[in-house]
């Protein structure tokens, strides 16, 4: 946990949030964390180890989003995942700079960090979030107000932030490993990527014999249908193009790709 705030003055929230987020940067780099916050993080990773899932890595963007929401909870009194006029969880975390394919949140009040952890572990929904093998990042905020601690933990499955050319290079490496040469000009593949069907016709050029379009947050492997085509040995060249993903709301991170086989 790299975000922690203890305050009893909840007026002027925007300025307070900005000041606290700036202050937490030094905590994040130094690892010098207040006891309650570090306790929640450590207990979560201990529980995950016992459950056989990997540890949660700190994410400063998630922590910034958690801090804003935690301050709002302390201002409102009754806890909630969303208040009137507040963006939802995915919009809050994306707006803070996080990139993810999965995002979850736990909120609570309690007298101590350990009590909050135990509360989450004894609530089926909160326990499932905390122990989920689908998440690998966390940002936590703790605010002391009204005689208790308010806590927010935002969990996500992180997605690497890549440019169009980086996405194309990643996919091209997988295609090349299938024994197919990569064409240098990605323009036709990029045009194909931006459409849902059909194929833009290149002037005077050879038309591809197979077109594969998909989008995913994970670019570690090719779609099965494409891998099968490459394994057939019937293709000698490929063009790879990337374009903007088609995601409703735009909060989740994914990459859209087209591969043309010749």
Q: pLDDT grade, residue 13 (50/70/90)?
A: very low
Q: Do β-strands 237-243 and 137-145 pair in parallel, antiparallel, or remain unpaired?
A: unpaired
Record the pTM: 0.78
Residues 6+ apart with CB under 8 A from 78: none
Q: pLDDT grade, residue 14 (50/70/90)?
A: very low
pLDDT tens column, 137-152? 999 999 999 899 999 9
Give the position of tokens 């507040």: 86
Q: How far is Cα 100 from Cα 251, in angstroms, rounded to an integer? A: 8
Average pLDDT across the chain, whole number: 86
pLDDT of residue 246: 81
pLDDT of residue 256: 97
pLDDT tens column, 204-233? 678 899 999 999 999 999 999 999 999 999
* Range 7-20 average pLDDT: 41
pLDDT tens column, 47-59? 999 999 999 999 9
HSE (CB half, 13 Å, CA atoms) of 11?
0
* Range 184-205 average pLDDT: 83
pLDDT of residue 202: 63
Q: pLDDT grade, residue 250 (50/70/90)?
A: low
Distance linking the first and last C-alpha atoms of the chain:
50
Q: How large a percentage of the chain has pLDDT more than 70?
A: 83
pLDDT of residue 249: 56
Give backbone dihedrals phi and psi of 80, rounded to 5 degrees, phi first.
-160, 160
Q: How large a percentage of the chain has pLDDT more than 90?
A: 77
pLDDT of residue 197: 81
Examine the pLDDT at 161 and tell me if it is beyond 60: yes
Examine the pLDDT at 254 and tell me if it is beyond 80: yes
* Range 164-170 average pLDDT: 97
Q: pLDDT grade, residue 248 (50/70/90)?
A: low
Q: For residue 249, count CB atoms less than 10 angstroms from its CB and return exposed for 0-12, middle for 13-18, buried for 19 or more.
A: exposed
């Amino acid at each position: 946990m790299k975000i922690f705030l203890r305050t009893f003055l909840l007026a002027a929230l925007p300025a307070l949030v900005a000041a606290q987020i700036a202050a937490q940067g030094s905590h994040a780099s130094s690892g010098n964390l207040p006891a309650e916050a570090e306790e929640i993080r450590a207990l979560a990773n201990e529980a995950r180890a016992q459950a056989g899932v990997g540890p949660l890595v700190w994410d400063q963007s998630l922590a910034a989003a958690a801090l804003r929401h935690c301050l709002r909870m302390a201002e409102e009194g009754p806890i909630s995942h969303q208040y009137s006029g507040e963006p939802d969880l995915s919009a809050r975390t994306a707006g803070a700079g996080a990139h993810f394919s999965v995002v979850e949140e736990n909120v609570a009040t309690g007298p101590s960090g350990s009590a909050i952890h135990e509360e989450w572990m004894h609530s089926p929904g909160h326990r499932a979030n905390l122990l989920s093998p689908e998440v690998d990042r966390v940002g936590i905020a703790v605010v002391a107000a009204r005689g208790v601690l308010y806590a927010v933990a935002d969990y996500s499955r992180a997605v690497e932030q890549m440019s169009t050319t980086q996405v194309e290079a990643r996919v091209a490496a997988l295609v090349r490993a299938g024994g197919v040469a990569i064409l240098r000009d990605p323009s036709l593949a990029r045009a194909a990527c931006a459409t849902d069907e059909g194929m833009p016709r290149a002037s005077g050029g050879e038309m591809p014999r197979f077109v594969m379009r998909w989008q995913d947050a994970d670019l570690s492997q090719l779609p099965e249908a494409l891998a099968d085509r490459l394994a057939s040995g019937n293709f000698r060249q490929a063009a790879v193009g990337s374009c903007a993903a088609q995601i409703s709301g735009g909060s989740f991170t994914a990459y859209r790709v087209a591969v043309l086989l010749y």
